[in-house]
Chains A and B, each alone.
Chain A
């Protein structure tokens, strides 16, 4: 599992340091050198406008991973608040909050995101909005579930009887108990969001060209599938490996937490 962590770390480092490591300007057009094969100068070749694919991938990591991180954290915040309201607010609040959550769940995430991003006009802002609005329900369900279970747990009842304030109880008992599950859900959503961002990019509703983003790069490469198939390998591979690394990290985390709890 250490190798998985290392892989995930490498990807995060690449996302942070990408622009420094990139050998070329990702937007530098070089028509004479278009659709170039991998070579010593252009390690992964060049695209239809002669731009260096490696540089674009490295810059793209920042968009794909960075945006996914931001969006999954926004979802985490919304979901936690909603879940806490459901768990603590009494029966009526619980019912209405959970039906709202069900309503949002009824729209397949990507379909809703496509509609939102498409109707509000494609762009980075609407991308963030679309994926945040559709990405908080899982957190809410987890937080609500744990919150309801904790309510009747012996030690929470004891703390209440001792006369501790709700804030202290939340800090002392609720948050530590929810953290592990939330982190596991968060890694899952992080990976899921990377897929979502590139899917929107691929459909043309995400980050707009000329910004390098893995989904849009794939969209560009698709036209040249017959002439230079290698072009479409790279961005897809980048998405797949980063999603895999994050998912495996989540699995490892879940297993180690499960082992600690038993």
Chain B
């Protein structure tokens, strides 16, 4: 289980996160939402160890997060792959780094789940659609079976139909594989649809946190209400439900 305890972080002189505490249970999903500049990406960088928090601790079942080797799915799917290499080479990097065997059965099963054909993985990033590239990115995250996967705006580069399709594949795979996922998204509709718990970030602080249902029904704060109403106005949330 992921425990984020009183974490603060700086970007240069700017306080990007202050006193963030969150937990994520095994196999569950936590969605973190908020506007750009709210500190979402900084939070991900801290969890992955790319940025050293200036205070607080982040642990996975009591040990440093690094020990569980969390995987990351990025916003720009094509950027996450070396443009000169076939997708498969990048996809297998986590196994290669661990000197682990490729299990053909598992790979085939994951590919099937993500609707990726083996032929597609032999292509270079520029030769596949952006949705396919993102599914390959998810495949890479899953290939070494990490217990925790972080999703940084995983759908925002996709169009609306592909978004929903990809979101469903992620949810199905999670049910099958049992990993925990932390999803960062500015799309409140997606955040509410995919998660067990949702946290709203604003200028580096947690504005409010709760279950998606209770948040949509009755936001606790003024800002939360604003966010929800905007999501209604843009059609990201359906009003009646």
Binding site for B on A (CB under 8 A): 153-155, 157-165, 168, 172-173, 176-177, 261
Q: Contact at B80–A154, with CB atoms within 8 Å? A: yes
Which interface residue of B71, B81, B93, B94 has the most chain A CB atoms within 10 A?
Answer: B93
Among residues of A, the one whose C-beta sits closest to the C-beta of B70 is: A161
Main secondary structure of the interface of A (DSSP, over half): helix
Given contacts A153-B79, A164-B93, A173-B82, contact A158 B98 (CB under 8 A): no
Q: How far is the CA of A158 from the CA of B73 in the complex (A)?
A: 9
Q: Contact at B50–A157, with CB atoms within 8 Å? A: yes
Partner of B82, one of A155, A162, A165, A261: A155
Partner of A154, one of B48, B50, B74, B98: B74
Q: Contact at B97–A154, with CB atoms within 8 Å? A: no
Q: How far is the CA of A160 from the CA of B144 in the complex (A)?
A: 15
Q: Contact at B90–A161, with CB atoms within 8 Å? A: no
Q: Contact at A154–B96, with CB atoms within 8 Å? A: no
Decide yes or no whether B17 CB sits under 8 A from chain A: no
Decide yes or no whether B69 CB sits under 8 A from chain A: yes
Partner of B71, one of A154, A161, A168, A261: A161
**Given contact pairs A158-B80, A161-B50, a sample of 6 additional A-B residue pairs in the complex whose CB atoms are under 8 Å apart:** A157-B74, A161-B72, A162-B97, A164-B93, A168-B97, A173-B82
Q: How far is the CA of A165 from the CA of B69 in the complex (A)?
A: 14
Q: Contact at B94–A163, with CB atoms within 8 Å? A: yes
Q: How far is the CA of A14 from the CA of B82 in the complex (A)?
A: 40
- Chain B nearest Cβ from A134, distance in angstroms: 33
Collect the chain B residues with CB atoms within 8 Å of residue A155's CB: 79-82, 90
Top 8 closest pairs, chain A to chain B, by CB: A154-B79, A154-B80, A163-B97, A162-B94, A162-B97, A164-B97, A155-B82, A162-B93
Q: How far is the CA of A172 from the CA of B48 in the complex (A)?
A: 22
Q: How far is the CA of A177 from the CA of B82 in the complex (A)?
A: 9
Q: Contact at B79–A163, with CB atoms within 8 Å? A: no
Collect the chain A residues with CB atoms within 8 Å of residue B98's CB: 162-163
Given contacts A153-B79, A154-B74, contact A159 B93 (CB under 8 A): yes
Q: How far is the CA of A162 from the CA of B92 in the complex (A)?
A: 10
Partner of B72, one of A158, A164, A168: A158
Among residues of A, the one whose C-beta sits closest to the C-beta of B125 is: A155
Q: How far is the CA of A153 from the CA of B71 in the complex (A)?
A: 16
Q: Contact at B76–A158, with CB atoms within 8 Å? A: no
Collect the chain A residues with CB atoms within 8 Å of residue B97's CB: 159, 162-165, 168
Among residues of B, the one whose C-beta sits closest to the C-beta of A176 is: B84
Interface residues of B in 44-82 (CB under 8 A from A): 48, 50, 69-72, 74, 76, 79-82
Task: List, sorted by A's number, 12 A–B pairs whose CB atoms are closer than 8 Å.
Answer: A154-B76, A155-B79, A155-B80, A155-B90, A158-B93, A160-B50, A162-B97, A163-B69, A163-B94, A163-B98, A164-B97, A168-B97
Collect the chain B residues with CB atoms within 8 Å of residue A165's CB: 97
Q: How far is the CA of A163 from the CA of B97 in the complex (A)?
A: 6
Q: How far is the CA of A154 from the CA of B141 in the complex (A)?
A: 13
Q: How far is the CA of A216 from the CA of B74 in the complex (A)?
A: 60
Q: Contact at B74–A161, with CB atoms within 8 Å? A: no
Decide yes or no whether B197 CB sits under 8 A from chain A: no
Q: How far is the CA of A52 from the CA of B176 in the complex (A)?
A: 83
Q: How far is the CA of A161 from the CA of B84 in the complex (A)?
A: 20
Given contacts A163-B97, A172-B82, A176-B84, contact A158 B140 (CB under 8 A): yes
